[in-house]
Every structure is written in C-alpha cells, then in structure tokens.
C-alpha cells in the first residue's frame, strides 16, 4: 500500500528510531513478521513506543523474560510513563499477558 511506501521513504530519509517504529506500525496488519522485526529494531534503537510495543508482543507470545526486559527499558527511557508500564507488568504477572493481547498479537 501507498502508506507503507511513504513510511519506507520517510525512514530511508531520516533513519530515526521513531520513523522505523512508524514503518513497523504501518505493517502491523499487513505483514506481521516484518512488522515484528522492525518493531524490535526500533526498540533496540531506543524508541520508547517500540520498546513498549515489543515488550507487550513478547508477553503476548509467552516470552515473559523478554517482555519484562523491554518494558523495563521503556520505563527507563520514559520515566514519566513508569506507572503505565507498571500496569502492563502487573497484568503480565497476574494474568500471564497484557490485556491488549489477542491470539498472540498486540491490539
């Protein structure tokens, strides 16, 4: 789709973690495998929203250790969002996954 092509172009021009996150987000419902890879790359590059998403995703697929790693990185990255991240971590600890999981995907 054109929206993906536009996001790819923007990311090629800027090469920022934020634009990589936006590209991954545009692929979420089109190409899950590629989206997960790009979310992971954006998380590694320091994007808070990517770290939060990737941590959620890891919990949704049962990788609790990785989920907590990425959510804690997100919490350190954006301390103002700590209470929100703590809520997600509590859901994982109490329910086994965040409440925004459905069939192994983050919604």
Per-residue pLDDT tens over the stretch 4-62: 999 999 999 999 999 999 999 999 999 999 999 999 999 999 999 999 999 999 999 99
Per-residue pLDDT tens over the stretch 81-103: 989 999 999 999 999 999 999 99
User: Rounded to whole angstroms, how far apart are CA atoms 55 and 11?
Assistant: 22
Model pTM score = 0.93
Q: Which residues contact 78 (CB under 8 A, 6 or more apart)?
A: 48
- For the chain, domains (ranges, CATH) are 2-106 (1.25.40)
């Amino acid at each position: 789709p054109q929206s993906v092509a536009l996001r790819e172009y923007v990311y090629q021009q800027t090469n920022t973690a934020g634009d990589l996150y936006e590209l991954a987000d545009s692929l979420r419902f089109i190409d899950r495998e590629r989206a997960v890879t790009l979310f992971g790359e954006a998380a590694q590059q320091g994007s808070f929203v990517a770290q939060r998403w990737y941590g959620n995703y890891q919990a949704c697929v049962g990788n609790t250790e990785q989920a907590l790693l990425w959510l804690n990185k997100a919490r350190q990255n954006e301390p103002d969002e700590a209470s929100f991240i703590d809520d997600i971590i509590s859901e994982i600890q109490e329910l086994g996954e965040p409440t925004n999981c459905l069939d192994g995907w983050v919604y």
